[in-house]
Amino acid sequence: MAKKERPIEKYYSVNRRFLKNVLRNLVIWEGLPDTIDERALNDYILFGGFAAGFYYKGELIVAEGSLAGIDHYYRPVWYTCSNAKITPVQRRRIGTGCCICYNTPNYQFPENFQNLVDIYAWRLADISLSEEVSIRNSRAAYVPLVKDEKEALRFSRLMTEVYEGDSFAIGYKLPIGTNAKDVFLPMSARENLVVDLLSDARRCTLADFFSSLGVKTISVDKKERTNLLEMESDSQQRKITSDIIMKPRERWAKEMNERFGTNISVRFNEEEVKENGILLEN
């Protein structure tokens, strides 16, 4: 029997897919040959750490694989393709037989974004689950005490209806002449409703995720309250982190153009970033 997926795992899966799709669309490649699939290229780089571009049976392709050997700068020397559909096994010298596009400037130990995605997917999953719990708790903020099992079952059915959207008040018996306001206890949930705070936490988490990629994270509603020093600091940080993303891709495009006569270029996908509520620097 398959293990039942917990609610937080479902939220993690949803947010993980969302963040990976955001990463896939963070840059736009232009001038790629028809034989190079852009989705595959991005996945190899982002989640494998690097991709290799080389000729195979007369077609310029990209593939994942392994790196071996080092030169006097401790840079990899050889690339071996690991793709069951590409036979026989292709082994190429880096720089002459193929061009390697790294995800980050760390060519000694190629780094991918799997861990980055997992960290923020779990954070967003925690927030999503907290929102669900907060909304459910907002329907009933008190825990009742009942005198017997029959009353407990009756109240259980009542709470089921409450969770489905009904509202109610609790009444109790008091002597004749008691003030009416003392007879009913409306179910209050104001103190439990923290959805607004959790929504802010979601926005901050996404902004933090984009900031780690070198994308502007100062929101529009805060812009007028941001001082010059804060904006300059944010701009410098984003310049450094955006270079981490773009420099290796720009270098690969240049190497491919020089080695294989292509006309490849790459740039940030500003529209994708804006659609997700984050703005790039103008």
Radius of gyration of the chain (CA): 28
* 276 compared with 210, residue with greater pLDDT: 210
Q: In whole angstroms, what is the distance from residue 221 CA to residue 206 CA? A: 16
In this predicted structure, the answer to whether residue 220 has a pLDDT above a threshold of 90 is no
CA separation for the pair 197, 11 (Å, rounded): 18
Mean pLDDT of 138-159: 72
Average pLDDT value over all residues in the chain: 78
Longest dimension (CA), the chain: 97
User: Is residue 95 pLDDT above 90, yes or no?
Assistant: yes
What is residue 1's predicted lDDT score, i.e. its pLDDT?
57
Is 80 exceeded by the pLDDT of residue 4?
Answer: no
Taking the C-alpha atoms of residue 202 and residue 1, their distance in angstroms, rounded to an integer, is 35
- Nearest Cα to Cα of residue 49 among 189, 206, 248: 248
List, for residues 110-132, the tens digit of each pLDDT value. Answer: 889 999 999 999 999 999 888 88
Beta-bridged to residue 229, according to DSSP, are none
Instruction: Give the Cα separation of 75 and 70 in Å (integer).
Output: 5
Instruction: Pinpoint the alpha helices (H) of 25-90.
Output: 38-48
User: 27-41, 82-96, 130-144: which has the minimum mean pLDDT?
Assistant: 130-144
Average pLDDT over residues 73-102: 93
Backbone angles phi, psi at 225, to 5 degrees: -100, 5
Strand stretches in the chain, DSSP E? 27-30, 50-56, 59-63, 65-70, 76-81, 91-93, 99-102, 169-171, 184-186, 265-268
The number of angstroms, rounded, from the C-alpha of 19 to the middle of its chain's C-alpha atoms is 3
Q: Is 176 exposed, middle or buried (0-12, 13-18, 19+ CB in 10 A)?
A: exposed
Torsion over CA: 134, 140, 145, 146 (sign): negative
| pLDDT given at position 256 | 97
d(CA 278, CA 211): 9
CA dihedral 117, 123, 126, 132 (to 10 degrees): -80
Please give the DSSP secondary-structure letter assigned to residue 176. T
Instruction: For residue 200, count other CB atoms closer than 10 A to its CB.
Output: 12
Give the mean pLDDT of 82-101: 92
pTM of the model as a whole = 0.71
